[in-house]
Amino acid sequence: MGNLDLSFANWELISKFVLNGFYFSVALTAVATLGGVLFGTLLALMRLSGRQALMIPATIYVNGMRSIPLVMVILWFFLLVPLLTGRPIGAEWSAVITFIAFEAAYFSEIMRAGIQSIPRGQVFAGQALGMTYSQNMRLVVLPQAFRNMLPVLLTQTIILFQDTSLVYAIGAYDLLKGFVTAGKIYGRPEEAYLLAAVVYFVICYSLSYAVKRLQQRIAIVR
Amino acid sequence: MAWDWQVFCKITTDEAQAPGCWAKGADVTYLEWMVHAWGWTLAVAAGAWVIAVTVGALVGTARTLPNSPWAVRLANAWVELFRNIPILVQLFIWYFVVPKMFPAMQQVPGFLLVVFGLGFFTSARIAEQVRAGIQALPKGQRYAGMAMGFTTAQTYRYVILPMAFRIILPPLTSESMNLLKNSSVAFAVSIAELTMFAMQMGEETSRPVEGYLAVTILYVISAFAVNRVFAYIEKKLRIPGFIVAGGTGGGH
């Protein structure tokens, strides 16, 4: 074993370098989850609408996003968004837009499976009550689809939290970057990587344990 | 915005255009560099795939073993460890921390360290699919093996694994495509693969859009090729009358 020295990891380091990055990672995860689920649901509804004009663009978008590495998507948006808007927006905002757009494709696949898991009879029952399409979706189908897919949506959110570390490619200041910066300044990069791994592990493991418990509770109810 | 695809014919060290887009001697054009980078991407992904499938199959099977609680616990710990740390952090640890902690690892080339990092990361996901595939089989299959007087090893070898393998082929397909896409993370430890090439070329030539576009298309082609190979295998191995359930959602 080599010579590891973790003594540099004190509260000063954490509050100075790591906390800012942690807040950004959490905020990015939250915004991308909300935006991703919202746009993902719209994409799923488009793909299930039965209208070619809606199905084809949504299918191309989802399959396109899903066949490109996330790092490339991050680089693309960082390059293209300033070209389109005409002014630089910074790595952090670029990351937010990228993750909403990218995660929408993955969440739409989950929501599509969720909507398709609702028995046809539910839709027919809504129609028999005289509900319009939007009422039927809003009051009958989507609430059940969300509930069925909640564990999968949350699992995807944990994956999303891990993937936020890839904003490293454009230099945005996230949790990982916080550790890397601290490691550089204190001259202890290896220890900083290990600490980052421990922090990510603790967060993701606790969250996935919570999701597992939730899954069991939902399973008992039905 | 005007395209400039001639940029691929430029020699990387000077501004000269190479005739036929392929430079002679020690020079390389951007096109040549990109082809090499594609090779690195495929090499990283292929190496990691072999490790991921081997380790994933072993660990996933171990998680379903009856009467071996310690094997199950160990395998579960393996999956949780490699699944709950971002791939980028795992790569940094393989590339920077492991050689420092274990001086013997300093002789190992960086390429191999990345292959191990990606392979072990993906092995956790494949192990999860293998476990799910084995547990998706009706309990009666296992009992049938026992009733025939098979040992546990024989039950797995002749009854459970052949069926489970076919069940996990669809999720294994998407996981293999994910692995190919995840290989792009190797840019962070200076492996000369496609993403690294795209970034470098964009900086050197100020024509990033052309570079990104070419690289993106190569990724899509590679992922599609993986998809087709697996579809072929799936078709060849299909057992008439045995319907395989598809995987849904999640993952990257």
Task: Render pLDDT for A81-128 as a digit per residue (tens, 0 to 9).
Answer: 998 888 888 899 999 999 999 999 999 999 999 999 999 999 999 999
ipTM exceeding cut-off 0.95 for this assembly: no
Using CB atoms within 10 Å of the CB of residue B230, give its burial: 0 to 12 exposed, 13 to 18 middle, 19+ buried: middle
Q: Is the pLDDT of residue A9 over 90?
A: no
Task: Tell whether B202 is within 8 A of chain A (Cβ).
Answer: yes
Kindly report which listed range (A13-27, A124-138, A164-178, B210-224) carries the lowest average pLDDT score.
A13-27
Altogether, the residues listed in chain B come to a count of 252
Q: Do B212 and A2 touch (CB under 8 A)?
A: no
**Which residue of A1, A71, A196 is in closest CB contact with B195?**
A71
- Tell me which chain A residues have a C-beta less than 8 angstroms from the C-beta of B101: 1-2, 4, 190
Residue-wise pLDDT tens digits, B161-179: 999 999 999 999 999 999 9
Compute CA distances B124 → A67, A134, B89, whole Å.
Answer: 21, 41, 15
Residue B251: band (very low, low, confident or very high) from pLDDT cuts 50, 70, 90: low
Question: Least CB-CB distance to B101: which of A4, A76, A156?
Answer: A4
- Best to test chain A binding among B1, B87, B88, B173 (most A CBs inside 10 Å): B88
Nearest to B223 among A67, A79, A113 (CB): A67
Mean pLDDT, rounded, for B78-86: 96
B-contacting residues in A 151-190 (Cβ below 8 Å): 152, 155-156, 159, 162-163, 165-166, 168-169, 176, 189-190
* C-alpha of B117 from chain center: 10
More confident residue, B98 or A8: B98
Residue B42 exposure: Cα atoms within 13 Å on the Cβ side: 15
CB atoms near residue B233 (< 10 Å): 14
Residue of A52 and B252 predicted with greater confidence: A52
A128 at B interface, C-beta within 8 A: no
Q: Is A5 helix (H, G, I), strand (E, B) or coil?
A: coil
The verdict on a CB contact (< 8 Å) between B89 and A165 is yes
Mean pLDDT of B53-58: 97
CA gap A179, A195 in Å, rounded: 8
Number of DSSP helices (H) and strands (E) in chain A, helices first: 10, 0
Q: Which residues of B49-70 are buried (b: 16+ CB within 10 A; e: fewer)?
A: bebbbebbbebbbbbbeeeeee
How many residues are listed for chain A in this entry?
222
Question: Which of B119, B114, B85, B86 is CA-nearest to residue B189?
Answer: B114
Interface test with A, best of B80, B81, B84, B118 (most A CBs within 10 A): B84
Compare CB distances from A68 to B100, B208, B220 and report the shortest one's residue: B220
User: Nearest residue of B to residue A103 by CA position?
Assistant: B252
What percent of chain A lies above the pLDDT cut of 70? 95
Is the predicted pLDDT of residue B38 greater than 70, yes or no? yes
Q: Provide the whole-model pTM.
A: 0.90
d(CA A104, CA A62): 8
C-alpha to C-alpha distances, B38 to B50, B196, B218, nearest whole angstrom: 18, 10, 8
Residue of A nearest to B81 (CA): A201
| CB-based contacts of A16, cutoff 8 Å, min separation 6 | A182
| pLDDT at position A196 over 90 | yes
